[in-house]
Amino acid sequence: MEDGGARGGGGSTQTQSVMSDLMISVSGVRGIVGRSLTPSLLSRLGEAFGTYLNSGTVVVGRDTRVSGDMVKHSVFGGLLSTGCRILDVGIVATPTATMMIEHLKADGGIVISASHNPIEWNALKFFRSDGIYLNAEEGRDLLNTYYNGDFIRCPWDRLRGVEIVSDAEAHHVSHILAVLDVQLVRSRRFRVALDCCNGAGVGVAMLLLRELGCEILPIHCKPDGRFPHTPEPTFVNLQDLCRHARETGADVGFAMDPDADRLAIVSESGSFLGEELTLAMVARYVLSRAGGGGARVVINMSTSRATEDTAREAGAEVYRVPVGEVHVAEAMKESGALIGGEGNGGVIYPKVHYGRDAMVGIGLVLEMAARDGRPVSQIAAELPKYHMIKTKEECPPALGRRAVRELAREAKGAVKVDTSDGLRIDWDDRWVHLRASNTEPVLRIIAEAKTEQDAARLVGTYSARIRRMIQ
């Protein structure tokens, strides 16, 4: 391992690498194990969150990463020192853990997971009592506490302990079953190929599928945290599942990222539907069941227009909000949205809870397929066709923000120009979204059009403009 074995007190090269791989932001803390993500840092974050919650009750869950125990026990020390009571829900999917925050009436929660990032990373995500991520303001309050270092320090007789909670997955599944026509799904006896990337979704996904009467055809479902492929649930990373679904004659295939908040679908013929289609497909189904008219759907700026078109066709109002799950969740709660989420396979269904959840997606897709009766590929073929291309350009944050302002002024012939989250320009049949990353010195460029060539042209044009501006 090339980065392994770094020891404290190293020279300037090591200090630089430690600086560059640690990201502390309002949306959480992420770093590389063995380098920046040290026990002392993690313990201090525990002290900060415990102080922020005023020594309250905290739900803690983690994904299957090998580093999970080290991270968890480091955080526990900090939390306990501030007088917190810890409810340890163990190795569970992120949506499983966040649902338990509300259920157990905790004051907040920490999920230890670097989501779809490679195995050497780990991260802390902070949640409030309603199971939703801290928003920017709350995140800033927590960071202020962290940097001030004025932590609550409890004497021995005010310390509390760690309680193990072992029924989190059962609780999660019961809430999903409660909103589904379980008998209908069971009657179809679906054969389901499942790729959990050896992540935290294995237990809950298996439990859900068994309850829904499915025959499970697992691949990469050993929850040991040793990822068999790059964890992001995208086309290139899911070739094993596509082949597996085809070879086993599955009715459908599901893949999730290691913390199971993103879902990708593979059809009965083993073709990858594209993670952008997950939300479009689920939203179309949910809206059709609800009658659609007057319903509200909330998606982020980078979500495919396939979801927007589908929702409008059903008579729903569509709201776009800045990228970040908390923005979507808060807007959904405020507007009373029926369904929403993020295009990258993140379905949020408030009847279950306000968080992206691969299990909710699986349940709704199976119910849809059971009710429809046709193969999944045929149902998917009815959805609007778009091609999305994502890229990024190296760009210092200040320059990125200036570039976005300049490009906003010169957007010609556009139907809509939105600057609430970087710059999004919509034309009749295509759009581009540019936003400076909060965590890296890059400008992300996402474009979508009816054809791949048009999307590529759009990305190419804006990439070239940014490169010229930087020079």
115 binds Mg ion (CB under 5 A): yes
Instruction: Return the range that interacts with Mg ion (CB under 5 A); candidates 252-260, 304-312, 328-336, 425-433.
Output: 252-260
Interface pick for Mg ion out of 195, 257, 357, 426 (rule CB under 5 A): 257
CA dihedral 396, 397, 399, 405 (to 10 degrees): 150
Q: Please, which residue, 258 or 292, has the CB nearer to Mg ion?
A: 258
Tokens representing 404 are: 């976005």
Smallest separation (angstroms) from Mg ion to the CB of 13: 32
Instruction: Return the range that interacts with Mg ion (CB under 5 A); candidates 81-89, 107-115, 415-423, 442-450.
Output: 107-115
Are 88 and 163 in contact by the 8 Å Cβ rule? The answer is: yes
Smallest separation (angstroms) from Mg ion to the CB of 344: 9
Edge-first strand listing for the sheet containing 423-426: 387-394, 442-449, 430-436, 423-426, 416-418
Smallest separation (angstroms) from Mg ion to the CB of 234: 13
Smallest separation (angstroms) from Mg ion to the CB of 419: 28
Choose among 86, 89, 243, 71: nearest CA to 162. Answer: 86
Q: Please, which residue, 47 or 259, has the CB nearer to Mg ion?
A: 259
198 binds Mg ion (CB under 5 A): no
SS (HEC) of 187-252: HHCCEEEEECCCCCCHHHHHHHHHHCCCEEEEECCCCCCCCCCCCCCCHHHHHHHHHHHHHHCCCE
Tell me phi and psi for residue 182, to 5 degrees. Answer: -60, -40
Smallest separation (angstroms) from Mg ion to the CB of 342: 10
Instruction: Return the range that interacts with Mg ion (CB under 5 A); candidates 73-81, 260-268, 278-286, 365-373.
Output: 260-268
Smallest separation (angstroms) from Mg ion to the CB of 25: 16
Instruction: Return the range that interacts with Mg ion (CB under 5 A); candidates 115-123, 189-197, 203-211, 417-425.
Output: 115-123
Are 301 and 322 in contact by the 8 Å Cβ rule? The answer is: yes
Q: Which residue has the tokens 């980065």?
A: 3
Smallest separation (angstroms) from Mg ion to the CB of 215: 27
Instruction: Return the range that interacts with Mg ion (CB under 5 A); candidates 18-26, 113-121, 302-310, 388-396.
Output: 113-121
Q: Please, which residue, 117 or 310, has the CB nearer to Mg ion?
A: 117
342 binds Mg ion (CB under 5 A): no
261 binds Mg ion (CB under 5 A): yes
* Catalytic residue positions, numbered: 115
Scan residues 121-160 and list those touching Mg ion (CB under 5 A): none
Choose among 227, 250, 246, 230: nearest CA to 238. Answer: 230
Comparing every residue's Cβ against Mg ion, the nearest one is 115
Instruction: Return the range that interacts with Mg ion (CB under 5 A); candidates 34-42, 255-263, 299-307, 367-375.
Output: 255-263
232 binds Mg ion (CB under 5 A): no
Q: Provide the mask over 435-464, with x wherever binding to Mg ion is found by CB under 5 A and - wherever it is not.
A: ------------------------------
**How crowded is residue 450: how many other Cβ atoms within 10 Å of its Cβ?**
15
Q: Which residue has the tokens 């019961």?
A: 174
276 binds Mg ion (CB under 5 A): no
Choose among 306, 292, 302, 321: nearest CA to 136. Answer: 321
Interface pick for Mg ion out of 107, 259, 268, 276 (rule CB under 5 A): 259
**How crowded is residue 79: how many other Cβ atoms within 10 Å of its Cβ?**
27
Binding residues with Mg ion: total (CB under 5 A): 4
Scan residues 394-413 and list those touching Mg ion (CB under 5 A): none
User: Integer distance in angstroms from the first to the last C-alpha of the chain?
Assistant: 37
Smallest separation (angstroms) from Mg ion to the CB of 421: 20
Tokens representing 319 are: 């709201």
Angstrom distance (rounded) from CA 254 to CA 267: 9
Q: Please, which residue, 257 or 367, has the CB nearer to Mg ion?
A: 257
Are 314 and 292 in contact by the 8 Å Cβ rule? The answer is: yes
Q: Please, which residue, 197 or 250, has the CB nearer to Mg ion?
A: 197
63 binds Mg ion (CB under 5 A): no
Choose among 354, 304, 302, 346: nearest CA to 326. Answer: 354
Choose among 277, 278, 243: nearest CA to 261. Answer: 278
> Which residues sit at the interface with Mg ion, rule CB under 5 A?
115, 257, 259, 261
